[in-house]
Structure 1
Amino acid sequence: MKLFSTLAVKKAFDDVLLGEFTGRTGIAVDGVYDPTTQLMARIRAGERPDVMIAVTSAFDELNGSAVLDLSTKTAIAKTGVGLAVPPGAELPDVSTLDAFKRALLDARSVAYSRTGASGIYFARLIEELGIDKEVNARATVIDKGFIAHAVVDGRADVAIQQLSELRFVPDARIAGPFPAEVQHYSEFSAVAATAADGDAAAFLAFLTSDEARRAYEQTGLELP
């Protein structure tokens, strides 16, 4: 079975869920992990998964198409956005909006992606806060992947990404979530392809099981 999935759930899938699902059912899952925008680009280019997991709102783009059966759309998890710093670095105060802005402006370089949901939101947020020119003048902009690698290898000293994705890089230190007044949650849903068989239905059911919920919570995700 071919899976297209957002990076946000990859740790839960790699650590627990895919192995458990295959062990129970004998169904092997071939996963492709990319930001939602790039998964949508793959769909437009003609690629066809059996199941797709993406930001819930993104599926509106496919409404009326014959690619995915949107009646199967099932919300599985959500996550907020956070900051990570290099191993051994002092954790900056990000508990208030003023402290959060100061942490960004004091950083030698802030790493983020302009293709992932969190990076797209962050680019808009710093513009609204009036600090986009200062931050972007020395930003480390990454196409895709796990942004916290940039603070581990020295390219930046602050990484911005969804909290579940920051946890994928264990050497990075998570400073915390964005302050509540500027926090942004992304909800993720799973959808089966229009032509999918019973394997896809079994996988969707598994993704809302108690075991799946525990795996989400253990890897920085919250329940929708």
Structure 2
Amino acid sequence: MMSGLATRKAFDDHLFAAFTERTGVEVTPIYDPTVQLLRRLDAGEHFDVMIAATPSFDALIANGVVAQGPQPIVRSGIGLAVPRGAAHPAIATAGELIATLTAARSVAYSRTGQSGIYFVDLVKRLGIEDVVLPKATVLEKGFTGTALESGAADLAVQQLSELLFVSGAEIVGPLPEELQKWTEFSAGTATVSTRNPDVAAFVEFISGPEAARAYHLTALEPVPSGLLS
């Protein structure tokens, strides 16, 4: 399985063990931001199932790499975190967010992550890029909360589920709703793996009620919203 980082905690902490216990099938994961996963495919790497931002599957389907009909499983919102134990700045409104970002010593973001790509666009739209970006801590990939643990930054922006992954980071909250960017992640099956019953069972499992509970525990929102009904 190739997957973006947003779902890693749900898979590592809950879903792999539960799936293996139920089926006896072990899953080997590869985690990277969606942009990096696409680069790995271009370099010739292979997968059975890919968890990635839904729009990224269009080209893969067109090129015959992924079968038609990727299954939407979760959506994730973006938030901010501070070092554990630090005071929580106000970010509930656009004005408060602007004040917090411009006052920060350094904001950490991921250059190739969906959240980081959106963050750069957001600060440009807010007209504060000249203040925020020159002093930002830019990670090529990975969890931006690690920059809080090292002291390189005093704020980190990323998918809420990814911020939750770093023990030294403490989530302040999501971006204001009017500035929020929801990213939907789907499970796509490689065309060469469509007849593999283990692959089909895994996609069904991570789309079902047990998986939905794990997503809720790791700051993700199941898609469709009626999974638990």
Q: TM-score when scaled to structure 1? A: 0.97
| Structure 2 SS opposite 1:122 | helix
Q: CA deviation at 1:28?
A: 1.0
Q: Is the 8 A contact 2:80 2:171 kept in 1?
A: yes
| Structure 2 SS opposite 1:30 | coil
Determine if the alignment matches structure 1 residue 133 to structure 2 residue 124. no
Counterpart in the other structure of 2:30: 32
Determine if the alignment matches structure 1 residue 195 to structure 2 residue 192. yes
Q: Is the 8 A contact 2:148 2:168 kept in 1?
A: no
Q: CA deviation at 1:15?
A: 0.5
Counterpart in the other structure of 1:10: 8
Q: CA deviation at 1:195?
A: 1.2
Q: Deviations over 1:32-80 (max 9, x none)?
A: 0000001111111111100000000111121322211123x10000010
Counterpart in the other structure of 1:91: 88
Determine if the alignment matches structure 1 residue 44 to structure 2 residue 42. yes
- Cα RMSD (Å): 0.8
Q: Deviations over 1:199-224 (max 9, x none)?
A: 11000000112110000000000122
The one-letter code matched in structure 2 to 1:118 is S
Return 5+ residue gaps in structure 1 as ranges: none
Q: Is the 8 A contact 2:6 2:159 kept in 1?
A: yes
The one-letter code matched in structure 1 to 2:151 is G
In 1: Cα distance, 2:30 partner to 2:160 partner: 20
Q: Is the 8 A contact 2:51 2:185 kept in 1?
A: yes
Q: Deviations over 1:77-109 (max 9, x none)?
A: 001000000111100000010000111011000
Counterpart in the other structure of 1:180: 177
Tell me the percent identity. Answer: 51
| Structure 2 SS opposite 1:68 | coil
Q: Deviations over 1:184-208 (max 9, x none)?
A: 0000000111111111100000011
Q: Is the 8 A contact 2:80 2:155 kept in 1?
A: yes
In 1: Cα distance, 2:43 partner to 2:149 partner: 34
Return 5+ residue gaps in structure 2 as ranges: 224-229
Give the number of equivalent residue pairs: 221
In 2: Cα distance, 1:35 partner to 1:52 partner: 12
Q: Is the 8 A contact 1:92 1:175 kept in 2?
A: yes
In 1: Cα distance, 2:214 partner to 2:71 partner: 17
Counterpart in the other structure of 1:212: 211
Q: Is the 8 A contact 1:84 1:148 kept in 2?
A: yes
